């Protein structure tokens, strides 16, 4: 049996926010039904990724946050899937209104977070049978 590896949490430390920021975090924690610590950790993670990869943003609700390339309208996984389908960046540049920089940014993000991007691609490529199993109430005709 394969052993599951857990990411170790960092050492605890204390932080104090200004009153307005603390109220905003408290309100967000209530809205998403998570602890303030979980909200701050998620925000910090997104902020660090946006600093590492200038030109990306995150969108959607709390449970389905996903990275996208600002100015493209496309999620990173979508650009990566397009590149895989076309086989080269040059072919994608000819077929889509994307810049070389946007494509390379998406591919660099995928290189750093491959499991996240591959999971999003796999979810998108579910078969009709898999969708029906997940959502038996949907119509297929």
pLDDT digits (tens, 9 = 90+) for 31-73: 999 999 999 999 999 999 999 999 999 999 877 899 999 999 9
What is the distance between the alpha carbons of residues 88 and 105, in angstroms, rounded to a whole number? Answer: 15
CA-to-CA distance for 36 and 25, rounded, in angstroms? 6
The string of DSSP letters for 33-87 reads T--HHHHHHHHHHHHHHHHHSBTEEEES-GGG-EEEETTT--BHHHHHHHHHHHS
141: tokens are: 């005709």
> How far lies 131's CA from each of 60, 65, 104, in Å?
21, 21, 32
What integer is the mean pLDDT of 78-101? 96
- pTM, rounded to two decimals: 0.84
Q: What pLDDT band is residue 90 in, cutting at 50, 70 and 90?
A: very high
pLDDT band at residue 1 using 50, 70 and 90 as cut-offs: very low
Q: Average the pLDDT over 112-139 and give the result.
A: 90
Give mean pLDDT, residues 103-126. Answer: 96
Helix (H, G, I), strand (E, B) or coil at 140: coil
Q: What are the residue ranges spanned by the domains of the chain?
A: 17-52, 54-141
Question: What's the pLDDT at 65?
Answer: 92
| Euclidean distance between CA atoms 34 and 13, whole angstroms | 19
Quick check: 139 pLDDT over 80? no
């Amino acid at each position: 049996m394969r052993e599951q590896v857990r990411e170790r949490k960092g050492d605890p430390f204390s932080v104090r926010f200004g009153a307005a920021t603390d109220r905003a975090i408290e309100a967000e924690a209530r809205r998403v039904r998570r602890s303030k610590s979980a909200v701050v950790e998620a925000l910090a993670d997104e902020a660090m990724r946006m600093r590492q990869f200038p030109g990306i943003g995150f969108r959607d609700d709390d449970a389905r946050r996903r990275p996208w390339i600002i100015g493209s309208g496309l999620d990173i996984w979508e650009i990566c899937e397009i590149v895989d389908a076309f086989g080269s960046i040059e072919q994608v540049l000819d077929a889509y209104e994307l810049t070389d920089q946007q494509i390379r940014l998406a591919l660099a993000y995928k290189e750093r977070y491959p499991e996240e991007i591959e999971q999003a691609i796999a979810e998108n490529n579910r078969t009709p049978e898999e969708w029906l199993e997940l959502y038996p109430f949907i119509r297929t005709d």
